[in-house]
Structure 1
Amino acid sequence: MLNAYVKKILQARVYDVARKTPLDKAIALSQRLNNHIWLKREDLQPVFSFKIRGAYNRIAHLSAEVRARGVIAASAGNHAQGVALSAARLGIRAVIVMPKTTPDIKVSAVRGFGAEVVLHGSAFDDASQHAQHLMQAEGLTYIPPYDDEDVIAGQGTIGMEILQQHTGELDAIFIPVGGGGLIAGIAAYVKYVRPEVKIIGVEADDSACLYAALQQKERVILDQVGIFADGTAVKQVGVLPFEIAQHYVDDVITVTTDEICAAIKDTFDATRSIAEPSGALALAGLKRYIQQTRCENRHFVTINSGANMNFDRLGYVTERAEIGEQREALFAVTIPERPGSFREFCHTLGQRQITEFNYRYSDSSLAQVFAGIRLTQGASEKEALMAKLIEKSYPVVDLSNNEMAKLHIRHMVGGHGQHVQNERLYRFEFPERPGALLHFLTNIGYHWNISLFHYRNHGSAYGRVLVGIQVPETDLLAFQQFLDTLGYAYWEERDNPAYQLFLN
């Protein structure tokens, strides 16, 4: 298997358009983590992503007759730009089908390369189906994002470059995983030339399709995927990548959104560049690997796979990076409702910096405080601080890993609902397109009373809403039917401790 892929990698035509990217050592990060860490800078490609390699190699291998008819792809991200630029360099027609929810910056970038953009549907599946229709109708050739030998070989040139640039000791290469084309290509080359080097995939914990497939020993389809690391949000790993991964991927690590945000900050500190979430995925996995194995003085390479970050997501990244790096803890603390109680609470915290403090008068005896605390020594300091608060008779709940608390509650602490009966709390996600929020409110507003509502746009393709709805017991069946037909992902949060402490 490897012989054929290595031959294709050696013959790949990526350098007609792609560049051989540098392998930069992250000096300060290496010192901090007591290991030698290098970043493969695929964010420096002409389209700010490694995707140009596979797309160009696939198109370059088409016959003149096929090229004359043009190519088509369905993508809302980096693959779209890779296909568009590749087609422009080869002087052929390119049609890119993108969901209507695609941010304008990405649509403009694709059009800037001369491709024809077709906006269709509200999600990738809609765009993909329409692309297949156009392919048949117009005789275009479909360029897949990962499940193709030439695409895999194009991405595999990254592995070839790493071994050319790093001829010394190398323990492992950490690679972000979506559909699997990148890890398959790198694994094929590296395991053929230097089989002792470990190949470690990294996935977001809410989009871990390769991890699930390796556990089940067959490709599986995830029920849903996360939306933060959108460049690797794939429900099922590709057929060809999985064939390679089964034999040549040594491990797969999953990481949280907070850990990805922390890795984006690390990348900025090391390179002064801003990685997209999927671009920082590999570094987040490396950091978790070091934490789990307690290894020192090892030599690691991570792939910075892309830098197509929406500017309006940076606030969210900054907010979550501190928690991901374990430099901030979020606590719910109950303190006495009396003059001087806040001062006593701060005295218990000592010289630590308070990053956030929210509360509202609840009753004459107790107050619920939402507090953010700056940490300098990570998880051990957090545990010690919790123990100290408990010792001082402060009831405390750690909310640092509570998604609803971090996403919503910290922004809306305002006291408990008074005389609110039959309240049920739900968290929703829905495609962020014009009219989506109105559609949601229109459907629900005529049937049940909304008693709590929080909506926040995070600069992504999905909106997030926290809703309290008054539903009598006699309406539960009808309400469940409404949820099932609404078509949005949802989670019931009625038993969430953050809700019980601050809002219920």
Structure 2
Amino acid sequence: MINLEKIKEAKTRVNKVIYKTPFAYAPTLSQKVGNEIYLKKENLQITGAFKLRGAFNKIASLPEEKRKKGVIAASAGNHAQGVAFSANYFNIPSIIVMPEATPLTKVSGVKEYGGEVVLAGNNYDEAYEYAVKLAKEKGYEFIHPFADFDVMAGQGTIALEMLERVPDLDYIIVPIGGGGLISGIASAAKQINPKIKVIGVTAAGAPAMRLSFLSGSVQDSAFVKTIADGIAVRDTSPITYEIIKETVDDIVEVDDEEIANAILFLMERQKVVVEGAGAVGVAALLHHKIKFSAPKKVGVVLSGGNIDVTMINLIIEKGLLKSHRKMKLIVTLVDKPGSLMRLTEILTEQKANIVQIGYDRTDLNLAIGDANVTIALETRGLEHQEAIKRALHKNKYKFVVE
């Protein structure tokens, strides 16, 4: 694990530039999950994510002759902004290699901090390979986003702040992509209080570290696909894996619908905007992925808030579906006058609000004389949706729920 003194030294360095983000009690979430929940709001960090801590500590730790040559990094966005900000602070050049599909908001953020952006590869790992090659060509110092002890020490300063605020925490829940954040946090927490349970959360579409943890050996993924782009890491780092194996108590996973539901919950109920990676800890709580023997004091790291605004509509849609506040149906009915009116009357009787409707009589799978009606409904929860389905069955409609 990372030595506690090294993490405390990092705290002295990063305190020059970081914002000491709130670690605040979340009453609504606490009541909902039956535990005392505190949120570490790194989404409010200067660059919008925790990555500034590790990037700044690494660059500040470099010998002057290495630092002045310039730095290069590979990142899906948050580490990129942390490196660019830190390089700008030290007045040195920086190049950031980002996957080609990186959201514009993160590309723009890097440029605003003075970094030069190079787009390469379909994911972080491909961007990383290109960045390593470019670093050798340019002679720049490569700043790894997670598999670096100075970077991990910088991320570990989050645990110091959490335990200063709430010394008797029982659990800390942390997102996992490459594993640098949880390695730093778990190292600090376990040395301060070995009884603290540290739980990691991965996205189902980026399972490498969880598979490695469960199998007891390094496992890589064939590909990654998740709305949590900040933790979309394909391959497991042997460096962070060893620290996680030593310091982390369990790793659970959440899928994209659960992540979307957590983003929506945080927006509506906590008035907090986070990106997909930042929401996975809350998703794990909302969907009961972590089992508590009794009510506990739980700290959750909201790792970042750099959400792509073009994705918000999609995420809200997924969140509404997951929380049973929206329902999509395909109903087959006889294609004759009055059929659609009768269907809408039934839905009106059930107090379901129609927000979108489509009518199709051309589907080749339909019997002659039938039509498919695609309907999106606003609903009041699971019981309401079950009542709607019962009403449709009672009236002999054939339908599927999308």
The answer to whether TM tops 0.5 is yes
Q: 1:315 aligns with which of 313, 323, 334?
A: 313
Q: Give the match's secondary structure for 1:11.
A: helix
Q: 1:370 aligns with which of 370, 374, 378?
A: 374
Q: Give the match's secondary structure for 2:273.
A: coil
2:104 and 2:308 in contact (8 A); partners too: no
> What's the offset of the Cα at 1:391?
4.2
Q: Give the match's secondary structure for 1:263.
A: helix
Residue 208 of structure 2: aligned partner: 209
Q: 1:301 aligns with which of 290, 299, 302?
A: 299
Q: Give the match's secondary structure for 2:288.
A: helix
**TM-score by structure 2 length?**
0.89
1:202 and 1:252 in contact (8 A); partners too: yes
Q: Tell me whether 46-55 or 212-221 shows the greater mean CA deviation.
A: 212-221
Residue 255 of structure 1: aligned partner: 254
Q: Deviations over 1:124-162 (max 9, x none)?
A: 455433322332223221110001111111111111111
Q: Give the match's secondary structure for 2:195.
A: coil
Residue 419 of structure 1: aligned partner: none
**Is 1:152 matched with 2:156?**
no
Any residues of structure 2 matched to 1:466-477 within 5 Å, and which? none
Q: Alpha carbons of 1:194 and 1:346: their partners in 2 closer, same or farther (altered >3 Å)? A: farther
Residue 462 of structure 1: aligned partner: none
Structure 2 alignment gaps of length 5 or more: none
Q: Alpha carbons of 1:359 and 1:35: their partners in 2 closer, same or farther (altered >3 Å)? A: farther
- d(CA) in 2 for partners of 1:115 and 1:389? 58
Tell me the number of residue pairs that the alignment of Structure 1 and Structure 2 aligns.
Answer: 394
- d(CA) in 2 for partners of 1:247 and 1:352? 52
**Is 1:233 matched with 2:228?**
no
- d(CA) in 2 for partners of 1:66 and 1:148? 16
CA RMSD of aligned residues (A): 2.5
> What's the offset of the Cα at 1:36?
2.7
- d(CA) in 2 for partners of 1:257 and 1:217? 26
- d(CA) in 1 for partners of 2:281 and 2:316? 19
Any residues of structure 2 matched to 1:59-138 within 5 Å, and which? 59-120=59-120, 124-138=124-138
- d(CA) in 1 for partners of 2:353 and 2:293? 31
Q: Deviations over 1:263-319 (max 9, x none)?
A: 1122223453421111212211121127x7598854322211111122222221222
Please tell me the residue identity of whatever aligns with 2:246: H
Q: 2:397 aligns with which of 394, 405, 413?
A: 394
Any residues of structure 2 matched to 1:162-181 within 5 Å, and which? 162-168=162-168, 170-181=169-180
Q: Give the match's secondary structure for 2:3.
A: helix
> What's the offset of the Cα at 1:6?
1.7
- d(CA) in 1 for partners of 2:202 and 2:94? 30
Residue 53 of structure 1: aligned partner: 53
1:181 and 1:238 in contact (8 A); partners too: no
Residue 330 of structure 1: aligned partner: 328
> What's the offset of the Cα at 1:80?
0.8
Q: Alpha carbons of 1:209 and 1:387: their partners in 2 closer, same or farther (altered >3 Å)? A: farther
Please tell me the residue identity of whatever aligns with 2:381: Q
Q: Alpha carbons of 1:368 and 1:273: their partners in 2 closer, same or farther (altered >3 Å)? A: same
Q: Tell me whether 215-224 or 107-116 shows the greater mean CA deviation.
A: 107-116
2:172 and 2:299 in contact (8 A); partners too: yes
Residue 187 of structure 1: aligned partner: 186
1:27 and 1:270 in contact (8 A); partners too: no
Q: Deviations over 1:439-484 (max 9, x none)?
A: xxxxxxxxxxxxxxxxxxxxxxxxxxxxxxxxxxxxxxxxxxxxxx
- d(CA) in 2 for partners of 1:41 and 1:77? 18
- Identity over aligned pairs, percent: 37
- d(CA) in 2 for partners of 1:391 and 1:84? 62
Q: Alpha carbons of 1:29 and 1:199: their partners in 2 closer, same or farther (altered >3 Å)? A: same
Structure 1 alignment gaps of length 5 or more: 400-504
Residue 468 of structure 1: aligned partner: none
> What's the offset of the Cα at 1:204?
1.6
Q: Give the match's secondary structure for 1:322.
A: helix
Q: Alpha carbons of 1:373 and 1:100: their partners in 2 closer, same or farther (altered >3 Å)? A: closer
- d(CA) in 1 for partners of 2:83 and 2:330? 49
> What's the offset of the Cα at 1:83?
0.7
Larger RCO: 1 or 2 (CA < 8 Å, sep 6+): 2
Residue 274 of structure 2: aligned partner: 275
Q: Alpha carbons of 1:336 and 1:195: their partners in 2 closer, same or farther (altered >3 Å)? A: farther
Please tell me the residue identity of whatever aligns with 1:370: T
